[in-house]
Structure 1
Amino acid sequence: MKDDDLWYRLDNAGKLYSSIISSRATTLFRVSATLTKSIDPELLQAALDATLERFPFYKVQLKQGFFWYYFEGTNQTPMVEKEIYYPCMSLSIKRRGSFPYRVLYFNKRIALEVSHSITDGTGALTFLQELVTQYFHLKESIPLKSEAISEEQLQSETENAFRKYYEKDIPAPKSRVGKSFKLPIQLDRKGQYHIMTGILNVETLKKKAKAYDVSITIFLTAIYIESLLKIQEETGGRKKPIVINVPVNMRSFFESKTMRNFFVSITPSIDARLGAYDFEEILAELKIEFSRLLTPKKLKQYIKRSVISEKSLALRLMPSPIKDIVAPSIYSFFGEGQYTSGLSNLGIVHMPSEIKDYIERVECYPPPSIGNKVKALMISYNHHVYISFGNLTKDRMLEREFFRGIRNLGIDVTIETNDEE
């Protein structure tokens, strides 16, 4: 099949994200690898071309149909670019000739910035791993594992896993509708996206979490919530619940090799109206909440909610230009408008053993969002955890409080930022 013969529907998450794209809410998130040597742009371009041969379903452009957006194959090839802008900004994937991602380089870093319309963190990391492997095959003559990719494998990598595991008789979870605490900070100028990254030793973090008998994700979510409770107390005003959006990789619970979106979000919370909470109380609440929600039966309810929104007759019959107008407001009210902030964990990255010595670090940045002006995304690689905050404002109150909380628990953290000041 020729590239321009290929087309496919967006998955359930992709349909939402394609309709809410704006100059601030770009839906772009980043995964990147910092190498031991400076990047050769020509070899990186050749590596990208080879990667797209392996994943031909990424050689697509977003097109607007009458009712829904869709991806259409193209004979064009995306070109690698030197990074000059703030991360995760300045890319309109709806513009003619654009792709739903881009590959950037700067000094020793290769960055993949990709829209949630096409994939999630797991899919992006798989693509980045292939890209870096192809680059070192060309740069350092690292041998490739030659394996024929069957049509069946390509189909499994492009399946809509939401539809695969959808069960119509399962009830959807009740939507949480209510006022959550919002950080009292103002948006910066358009095009500005401020990143602050904390680097922690993974073994130290693991031991500290184990001492409290919780996972790293629960441990860091507790610090995150405690930080927001302190900010709410200091800024005054009426007490409101702290609600955190925590994406869950569904591949950990349901068999799927899809490289499209396959995640749902749970929303652990602490209700500040009930009184003061110490750190151990927050941990105890979160431990119960995560244990209750992270089961296949409960998660199938979230799959149901993701699918039934698309099946709504009113939404299906609404022309896509109208969806573009109403979707941001709906998402703001029923989606990110319900959260205080978001914290996501992409887990441990395993690079092929042949190229590990050529890679210093792997990082990720969250997509910018007006509803949650500050969000965090973390990843683990080579004995370190990298926690990156993305911030659309000039205020760093949450980042400072969070990393102060980590240090107060006896954990060393190195801070980096893309701010010039």
Structure 2
Amino acid sequence: METDWYKLDSAGKLYASTVSSRVSTVFRLSASMYKSINASLLQEALEETLEEMSSFKVIVKKGVFWYYFEKTATIPTVSEEHYYPCSNLFFRGRNTFPYRVLYYNKKISLELSHMLTDGTGGMEFLKLLVRNYLKKEGVNVPCVRKKLNGFNFDNAFFQHYEKMVPNWQDTLDKAYKLPLRLDKRGVYHVTTGKLEIRVLKNIAKQHQTSITTYLLALYAEILIDIQAQNSKTRRPITINVPVNLRNFFETNTLKNFFVSVPVTIDPRLGTYSFEDIIETISIELKRYLNDKQLKTLIARGVRGERNFLLRALPLFVKDWISPMVHAKFGENLYTSSISNLGIISLDKELEKHVERFEFYPPPSIGNKIKAGVISYKDDMYITFGNLSNDRLVERMFFRKLVKEGVRIKIETNRSAY
């Protein structure tokens, strides 16, 4: 039966109640062209995209117990970018869209609140928007493409929740926190390193591991060194690795469908060589990345949402307690985060018009610095989003890659790097 409103998915409900002036829950996906963006054509392309992917034609509404989405005939207006990325959408209590479309010079940027979708769902929307924009520009767009009616707006967490599966049982210690001072509200520093996938793959191969594990190990080693230099006490270094559950469970949902997998290196156990770190991370990932173990992470999230006492609380109470619960059982357990959206592909007819894709992670006061990774054609783009003015982590990370023989082009919105 058709309805005029949608429930938020299990992850979206939590994100909706944790929004603040510093925790926007907004991430960015962008595509850079070889020509400057025509704003009027981009607006037309957005209108066409929303007709084809109508599940995004929603505004955020405030209910008695939960936020929800309501269908709308209104179309958002594209605007030229003029502020820091991933800023708050200020939807709480207002009839606003949970996303925005921006442009600047040759770049189209889609910024979305995590309450609507995750990186995979957002990328499907952005790819369609780019396709429609290029069509408006006169590019011969191929007729054969992925059928949009294959997508849905189902809550895949509920679909793959099994009542008999126990909750995730691991107990993580409070993780080491980087000694970074927050910058002014609204300021979000981003630093992107562009590098060749082929070179990085060869280096990872020398260490007999994958690119993802290699990058995690490199990051963990840096965080261990920073802790050793700045603190007498030792705490676990735990990196949050978001995992796309679509790779393990069959679904075509455009809503959120991911879980956070913790990867921990504990310096209290002794000194780790780089090979020790790689081996530990490989074991951790192998333990988690299977459908049986992932079901326990799904069960934890769904059972929390279905808890009768939580459901009965009015929304203003949820808005008050959710940030504290999220901090205690979520971000306090992590030192930082690396999210890899993988390789983005387009039809060959479109590829020659799109130079690159980028992914900016959402700002978070609990993890002041995060990394987003995305690959396109022959290159990988690693972007650090940082709520502080401290450049130490980004510098150490990219310098280590350079020492390994990786040539990197650095771009940043900071005044000086």
TM range (shorter): over 0.9
Give the AA of the match of 1:202. I
Q: Is 1:352 aligned with 2:350? A: no
Q: 2:216 aligns with which of 212, 221, 231?
A: 221
Matched with 2:316 is: 321
Residues 389-418 of structure 1 show CA distances to partners (whole Å, capped at 9, x for unaligned) of 000001011111111221222222221110
* 1:268 shift after superposition: 0.6
Give the AA of the match of 2:49. T
Aligned equivalents of 1:355 and 1:22: distance in 2? Answer: 38
* 1:363 shift after superposition: 0.4
Q: Is 1:237 aligned with 2:232? A: yes
Contact persistence 1:196–1:415 (CA under 8 A): yes
Aligned equivalents of 2:295 and 2:167: distance in 1? Answer: 8
SS of residue matched to 1:222: helix
Matched with 1:205 is: 200
Aligned equivalents of 1:161 and 1:401: distance in 2? Answer: 39
Pick which of 222-231 and 136-145 moved more: 136-145
Aligned equivalents of 1:235 and 1:96: distance in 2? Answer: 43
Matched with 1:16 is: 14
* 1:275 shift after superposition: 1.5
Aligned equivalents of 2:403 and 2:147: distance in 1? Answer: 50
* Structure 1 segment 155-166 matched on structure 2, within 5 A: 156-166=151-161
Q: 1:54 aligns with which of 52, 55, 61?
A: 52
* 1:337 shift after superposition: 1.2
Aligned equivalents of 1:166 and 1:388: distance in 2? Answer: 33
Q: 1:382 aligns with which of 377, 385, 406?
A: 377
Matched with 2:287 is: 292
Matched with 1:254 is: 249
Q: Is 1:116 aligned with 2:114? A: yes
Matched with 2:298 is: 303
Q: 1:282 aligns with which of 277, 281, 290?
A: 277
Contact persistence 2:131–2:141 (CA under 8 A): no
Q: 1:40 aligns with which of 38, 41, 50?
A: 38
Q: Is 1:272 aligned with 2:245? A: no
Matched with 1:125 is: 123
* 1:52 shift after superposition: 0.2
Aligned equivalents of 1:175 and 1:325: distance in 2? Answer: 27
* 1:97 shift after superposition: 3.5
* 1:314 shift after superposition: 1.4
SS of residue matched to 1:140: coil
SS of residue matched to 2:14: helix
Q: 2:136 aligns with which of 133, 138, 149?
A: 138
Aligned equivalents of 2:134 and 2:334: distance in 1? Answer: 41
Residues 13-48 of structure 1 show CA distances to partners (whole Å, capped at 9, x for unaligned) of 000000101111000000000000000000000000
Aligned equivalents of 1:148 and 1:39: distance in 2? Answer: 25
SS of residue matched to 2:280: helix
SS of residue matched to 1:386: strand
Matched with 2:405 is: 410
Contact persistence 1:93–1:101 (CA under 8 A): no
* 1:146 shift after superposition: 7.0
Q: Is 1:76 aligned with 2:71? A: no
Q: 1:263 aligns with which of 238, 252, 258?
A: 258
Aligned equivalents of 1:306 and 1:200: distance in 2? Answer: 36
* 1:213 shift after superposition: 1.9
Aligned equivalents of 2:386 and 2:147: distance in 1? Answer: 40
Contact persistence 1:167–1:304 (CA under 8 A): yes
Contact persistence 2:33–2:355 (CA under 8 A): yes
Aligned equivalents of 1:288 and 1:177: distance in 2? Answer: 17
Aligned equivalents of 2:128 and 2:402: distance in 1? Answer: 36
Contact persistence 1:142–1:354 (CA under 8 A): yes
* 1:101 shift after superposition: 0.3
* 1:140 shift after superposition: 2.1
Contact persistence 1:176–1:338 (CA under 8 A): no
SS of residue matched to 1:267: strand
Aligned equivalents of 1:409 and 1:309: distance in 2? Answer: 44
Pick which of 164-173 and 93-102 moved more: 93-102
Give the AA of the match of 2:19. I
Which 5+ residue runs of structure 1 have no aligned equivalent? none
SS of residue matched to 2:346: coil
C-alpha change, 1:148 and 1:243, in structure 2 (3 Å) is closer
Matched with 2:167 is: 172
* 1:6 shift after superposition: 2.4
* 1:149 shift after superposition: 6.5
Identical-residue share of aligned pairs (%): 48
Contact persistence 2:89–2:113 (CA under 8 A): no
**TM-score normalised according to structure 1 size:** 0.96
C-alpha change, 1:90 and 1:293, in structure 2 (3 Å) is closer
* 1:214 shift after superposition: 1.4
Residues 220-254 of structure 1 show CA distances to partners (whole Å, capped at 9, x for unaligned) of 00000000001011112201110000000001111
Give the AA of the match of 1:136. L
Contact persistence 2:62–2:93 (CA under 8 A): no
**TM-score normalised according to structure 2 size:** 0.97
RMSD between superposed Cα atoms in Å = 1.6
Q: How many matched pairs?
A: 416
Give the AA of the match of 1:349. I
Contact persistence 2:41–2:137 (CA under 8 A): yes
C-alpha change, 1:148 and 1:408, in structure 2 (3 Å) is closer
Aligned equivalents of 2:173 and 2:284: distance in 1? Answer: 18
Which 5+ residue runs of structure 2 have no aligned equivalent? none
Give the AA of the match of 1:79. T
Contact persistence 1:137–1:144 (CA under 8 A): no
Point out 4+ residue stretches in structure 1 off by more than 4 angstroms: 146-150
Aligned equivalents of 2:152 and 2:243: distance in 1? Answer: 19
